[in-house]
Amino acid sequence: MVQKAITRLLAITAALAVGLAPGAAAQAAPKAAAKPNVVQITGKDVDGKILVDQKTQKRLFESLYSEVSWMASAKSQTTALQADKLGAKYTVTLLNNKQALQVFDLFPMAAGGPRAHRLAKQPTGAKTEGWFYGRLTMPEALRVAGVPLKAKPDVVTGGIGGGIGQGLDVDDAADQPAGVQEYVGEVRRLFLLNGAVLIAILVGLAGIAFLIRRKV
């Protein structure tokens, strides 16, 4: 009798353990880190704030994201310049919907080339301040997003030059260099002229062959 009671108690305990295991495992599993899907840009000469959503402006989002994402865990490369040599500052915040994840200050017009500052105080609580040499593409990437900067399309590949705020998802037709159309026209006329001369020669040869045949 006692043995049956013990066996039944063990069975109930095992069933409860199996039933609670999934819940315990779910609680123990680490929550996946949120990934940025929106880039926010603010600055003194920016009207309000610029928001670039990954869903609607994928190429532009990836362009801006690539300018700062590599600095998240990189070691500081340089030291801060004097304020009068940094130029205009634009703050780029990486968001997951409305939740701020990372913040960087960009200085696209700094003396000696673009600079970037990883703020010491980050939304995630990390405190790893750092200064970096920014990419040469930084000014144009910001300009295409809507920041009023002078165009420098020669340093950006992929056809992202154009007006302020122009989306990267629009493929612009490249303008033909001056003189190309004229050159093509001259080549076309040359081919036509050569063709006409060739036809005249063939007709002449055919006529000569016909006359020689008649005399023979």
191 assigned to some structural domain = no
- Residue 152, φ and ψ in degrees, nearest 5: -140, 65
Closest CA to 117 of 125, 109, 129, 127: 129
pLDDT score, position 71: 92
145 and 128 in a common domain: yes
- 12 pLDDT above the threshold of 60: no
| Residue 177 and residue 185 in contact, taking contact as beta carbons nearer than 8 Å | no
173 assigned to some structural domain = no
Select the more confidently predicted residue: 189 or 133: 133
SS3 73: coil
120 assigned to some structural domain = yes
Number of domains in the chain: 2
pLDDT score, position 174: 41
CA distance to 67, 160, 196, per residue, from 135 (Å):
7, 16, 57
Question: Which pairs with CB-CB distance under 8 Å and at least 24 residues apart come from 13-20?
Answer: none
The pLDDT > 90 percentage for the chain reads 46
105 and 73 in a common domain: yes
Select the more confidently predicted residue: 158 or 33: 33
Q: Quote the mean pLDDT of the chain.
A: 77
19 and 90 in a common domain: no
pLDDT score, position 184: 57
Q: Which domain holds residue 90?
A: 38-155
94 and 5 in a common domain: no
Interval 33-61 mean pLDDT: 93
Q: pLDDT tens digits for 93-126?
A: 999 999 999 999 999 999 999 999 999 989 987 7
This prediction's pTM? 0.59
136 and 88 in a common domain: yes
Q: Which of 133, 155, 177 is the last residue of a domain?
A: 155
48 and 10 in a common domain: no
**What are the tokens at 210?**
């016909």
Helix (H) or strand (E) holding 103, with range, is strand 99-107
pLDDT score, position 107: 97
